[in-house]
Amino acid sequence: MRELKGMTVVITGASSGIGAALARALHASGAHVVLAARRLERLQALARELPGSRVIETDVTDPAACSALLAAVPEADTVICNAGYGLARTICDTTAAEWLDLLKTNLLGTTACIVAAVPQLRQRPVRDGWRGQIVIVSSALARRGRPAGGAYSATKAAQLSVAEALRVELAEDAIAVTSVHPIATDTEFTSIAVGWKNGAREPRQSAELVARRIIAAIVRPRPEVWPHRLSRWGLSLATLWPSLLDRYFRRRLKAEHSARPLLPRQGVP
């Protein structure tokens, strides 16, 4: 079991939602938290709540800023790559610029922090069996592309691939790698992701629940965290029988966007 008290945890995307919930819960457990995001005033307000925490203004789309973030915290033993945002667009409506922005934040922002963190983590002493841990906040959509959200899902699937490869690459270094797969979570995510609508009957969870599950996986490192456990089984079943979810998503798309079809018709009934 890794001791949270005295651990130094860097959290990207700490200015709201899951990142802020994680910072509060980790701080309450005695960890030193380093808060990173773009909105400085939000981070400073959170830091006033959490005495001893540090704020580092960071835009993860800038690899130099990710390097500077990690260089400022050589004592970090856990790095949580959580910064990200969504986009509600069909694949055919997603512009090249939108793809690039999403990839730069969700995927390359994650890998830039990892590349900066790993050499430092390798220098850390082994404590409670581990030198350190990298946590990547992906999504349940990593396992199933969401219609009118396919580009976002692709970035989340890419994060899962990174975690799967990295976990084995760093095993000999005693550095744990964990990917996190939340379902719809009550944060600012949906208001920032233009046009994003969760299904009326879709299960939801709180940012605090996601934070608790992530912290359990920091204490006892494991490969994946699915805060809503049923979704893991449902999505595993859907990989065996993909047409099941196709039917569900088609019905949902029709209901949500009956006024304006989102998918090109091309003679498809």
Ligand X SMILES: NC(=O)c1ccc[n+]([C@@H]2O[C@H](COP(=O)([O-])OP(=O)(O)OC[C@H]3O[C@@H](n4cnc5c(N)ncnc54)[C@H](OP(=O)(O)O)[C@@H]3O)[C@@H](O)[C@H]2O)c1
Chain residues that interact with ligand X, rule: CB under 6 A: 12-19, 37-39, 42, 58-61, 82-85, 105, 109, 137, 139, 182, 184-185, 187-189, 192
Residue 128 CA to residue 125 CA, distance in Å, equals: 10
Residue 259 CA to residue 257 CA, distance in Å, equals: 5
Residue with smaller CB distance to ligand X, 130 or 141: 141
| Smallest gap from residue 126 Cβ to ligand X (A) | 29
Residue with smaller CB distance to ligand X, 13 or 132: 13
Residue with smaller CB distance to ligand X, 116 or 184: 184
| Smallest gap from residue 258 Cβ to ligand X (A) | 24
Distance of CA 237 to the CA centre of its chain: 23
CA neighbours closer than 13 Å in the CB half-sphere of residue 47 = 19
Among the listed residues 130, 152, 189, 226, the single catalytic one is: 152
| Smallest gap from residue 52 Cβ to ligand X (A) | 20
Residue with smaller CB distance to ligand X, 118 or 160: 160
Residue 248 is among the residues annotated as catalytic for this protein: no
Query: Helix H segments across 79-227?
Result: 96-102, 108-123, 150-169, 189-192, 207-219
| Smallest gap from residue 264 Cβ to ligand X (A) | 27
| Smallest gap from residue 99 Cβ to ligand X (A) | 15
Residue with smaller CB distance to ligand X, 82 or 178: 82
Q: What is the dihedral of CA 23, 24, 30, 34, to 10 degrees?
A: 30
Distance of CA 157 to the CA centre of its chain: 11
Q: What type of residue is 113?
A: C
Helix H or strand E encompassing 78: strand 78-81
How many beta carbons lie within 10 A of that of residue 11, not counting itself? 27
Distances (CA, A) of 97 to 82, 101, 110, 121: 22, 6, 19, 34
Looking at the annotation, which residues are catalytic?
A: 152
